Each structure stands twice: as structure tokens, then as C-alpha cells.
Structure 1
Amino acid sequence: MESKRRRLSKLDAPKNITSNEKIMDDNDFIVSKTDKKGYITYFNEVFMEMAGYTHEELMGANHNLIRHPHMPRIAFKLAWDLIQNGKEFFGFVKNLRKDGGFYWVFAYITPDYDSSGNIIGYTSFRRKPPRSAIEQIEPIYRLLVDEERKGGMDASLKLLQNFLKEHKISYNTLVMSLQMGAKL
């Protein structure tokens, strides 16, 4: 009888984080699908190449395996809140590679439905973000992560809401504007 292999998760992510960035090619797209709990059910070759894991390691792994510690948890909470309620999510994400390095993506996540209209999983499409967007979002993410360390996700959410209010912009408008090359 064949033993069932253990699924990888964020607990299996590398602990030795480096500043080595892998940059996506301009025409590359990363595609992955997960079930409702975030376990990977499909991915393309570009995802494997960027993440640095083998097919066997990624298939069935929890997508949080590539969650970089520099990413604010509030970003993932916003994403999950939207997609679990049948809405789309757009955002900039710094992902963790198996070698401890990282890569940035502009992510679009949408729910997948069965024939009865029930959410059965999620599909994520990612492409290379403009460098100008990364340069503007990274300091915001650092502030949010610092705030989370001090006061948890509620404090981070409050900081994000205050930032958006101060700039008189919605989250989606912020993200789409940065993706189109706008400056804050």
C-alpha cells in the first residue's frame, strides 16, 4: 500500500529569506487553481519556474507555501474576504521562492463555480507588475507589516483604511492606478 505524501504548507516554506529577486518575463503569465481551502489543484510551468518547486511538491500543497513574510496578512484577508463572497481580487503580491528569494506579481483571483453556482475553488492569474508599482506599494506593505506586529490585523486594517481615506482613493482604484503606472 502506497503511503499518502504530506501536503506542503507555509510551515514548510524556507526560513532563510534572501534579497534575491527573480523577475518575471514581460509576456509570462502564472496560472494556478486551488480548492476552497487553498490547496493547489492546477498550475502552469511558469508558476513552477518562478516558485522554484517541483511539480510533485506543488501539486496538493497549500498555496500559502509561497507567502512571503514581508507581505501584510491584511492583504490576504482582504483577498479571501472578497473571493469567498464571489468577488474578484486584484493586488500586488511578493511571493516567496523555495530558495528563499522572491518574485513580485500583479494578481487577479476569481472564484470558480460548479453547475449549481456554488464556489468550488479559485483561479489566480499573475503577471509581471510595473517596477513603479512595486516601488510605491513596498513601503506601504512595510508599514502594514510593522503595524500588524504591534497591534495585529485590526491595527493594520485601520492603517490601510486611513491611508486610502487620506489619499481619497479606494483599494481597487489604488491597485489599478499603480498597475497603469500612476504615481501616488
Structure 2
Amino acid sequence: MTTTTHGSRAKVRPTGQERTFSADELIVSKTDPRGLITYANDVFLRVGAFERHEVIGQPHNLIRHPDMPKAVFKLLWDTVSSGHELFAYVNNLAADGANYWVLAHVTASKDASGRITGYHSNRRRPAPEGVRAASGLYDVLLAEERRHGTGKAAVEASSALLTRMLAERGTTYEEFVWSIVPEEARP
């Protein structure tokens, strides 16, 4: 595992090794409203190469792969924090530097009064053709982010490009996601 120290946590560097999991398995995690992990199932731990004590209480973005466009996470966060669900293709980073693609379904957890109390994510193994299509879009968004640095301007530029690209296709992000999920792989 290649790491560098970043704050109180070691920052994992991608190794280029790709990992997968069975089609009948679900990766499940829950967070509090701030995005701190409160639950991770055994599949999350195994695929992510973590021990339970390494993830509970940590920000969920500890599995964020640097080759994932920030615009997609902004869209995801904006959507679920407003109380809506979102399906997204996500490339995650394991503790040992391996990566693993998922088709994530993220929802807000709410109390009886409708107040958001946290977030719940189920992730299934995506079809290879979906990953290829998502990767193509994500490569364009990442290039846009790199042209604008690493801060807020990069996220804004990438988000604006995503919005334009989807508008040109006459679709939403979620419609794009479902258009690249093969019929036989749909839940």
C-alpha cells in the first residue's frame, strides 16, 4: 500500500489494481448527516480492505478515488441532501490502493418528522459496459477540472460542463445512468 500522511489520516494512492465483488453482493454503508460512517457491512469492509474500526466515525469520502469527478459528488450531495435519491456510477478507492466500481443508490434517512438523520447507500456491481460509458463521461469532466485547478472553480466548471453535456443529450444524470445499465442488470 502506498500512502502519504494527510492531516490525521494517511492518504492512499491508487495502485491501478482493480477489484470487484459478486453480482449477488451489496456494499452497504450508512452515515450521519455530516457524512461520517455509522455502519459498514462486511462486503464494504472486504472490498474496501478495511477493518470496521478504521471506518466507523470516519468521513465517507475516505473511499473517494482521485479519478472521480468532483462534479458527480457535488450532484450526488446536492440531490440527497435535498431529500431525493440518486443512482450513480462511482469509482471507489480501497485502503490498499485498489479501485472498485459500483452502481450506487444513495438515499436520505429521515425521522418521523421528515428531518434528514443520515444517508444510506447500497452499491451493486455494475455492468462493464456501464463502467465504460461512465468512464468516458468522467474522463471529460476530470479534464475540465484539471484545467481549472483543484478548488471551487474546478468543481463549478466541471458541474457546468456536466449540465451542458446532459442538456445536449436531452437527459438528466440519472437517466444517463439508467441508459447505460443493461436491462438484465437492472434491479
TM-score (norm 2): 0.88
Please give the alpha-carbon distance, in whole angstroms, between the structure 2 residues aligned to 1:28 and 1:10: 32
Give CA-to-partner distance per residue, 1:30-77, whole Å, 9 cap, x none. 110000111000111000001101011011111000000000001111
Q: Which residue matches 1:157?
A: 159
Give the CA deviation at 1:115: 2.0
Is 1:41 the counterpart of 2:38? The answer is yes
Out of 98, 104, 109, which is 1:107 matched to?
104
Deviation at 1:142, TM superposition (A): 1.3
Equivalent residue for 2:3?
A: none
Q: CA deviation at 1:12?
A: 2.9
Residues 1:126 and 2:123 are matched in the alignment: yes
RMSD: 1.9
Distance 2:127 2:7 in 1: 29
Structure 1 residues 23 and 97: CA distance shift in structure 2, 3 A: same
1:30 and 2:27 aligned: yes
Equivalent AA in structure 2 for residue 28 of structure 1: E
Match of 1:178 in 2: 180
1: CA distance, partners of 2:166 / 2:8: 30
CA distance in 1, matches of 2:7, 2:138: 23
| DSSP-derived class of the 2:12 partner | coil
Which residue of 2 is the match for residue 80 of structure 1? Answer: 77
| Corresponding residue of 2:67 | 70
Q: In structure 2, the residue corresponding to 1:121 is in which secondary structure?
A: strand
CA distance, structure 2, for counterparts of residue 40 and residue 9 of structure 1:
18
Equivalent residue, structure 2, for 1:19: 16
Residue number in structure 1 paired with 2:151: none
- Inter-CA distance 95–9: structure 2 relative to 1 (3 Å threshold): farther
Gaps in structure 2 of 5+ consecutive residues: 1-5, 149-153
Moved more, 58-67 or 147-156: 147-156
Amino acid at match of 1:13: K
Distance 1:9 1:133 in 2: 35
Identity of aligned residues (%): 39
Secondary structure at the residue paired with 1:122? strand
Residue aligned with 1:86, SS = coil
The change in CA–CA distance for 1:136 and 1:9 in structure 2 (over 3 A counts) is farther
Structure 1: runs of 5 or more not aligned: 1-7
Q: 1:180 to 1:32 in 2, by over 3 A?
A: same
Cα distance in 2 between the residues matched to 1:127 and 1:177: 16
2-structure distance, mates of 1:10, 1:109: 27
Counterpart code for 1:82: T
| Structure 1 residue runs of 4 or more that deviate by more than 6 Å after TM superposition | none
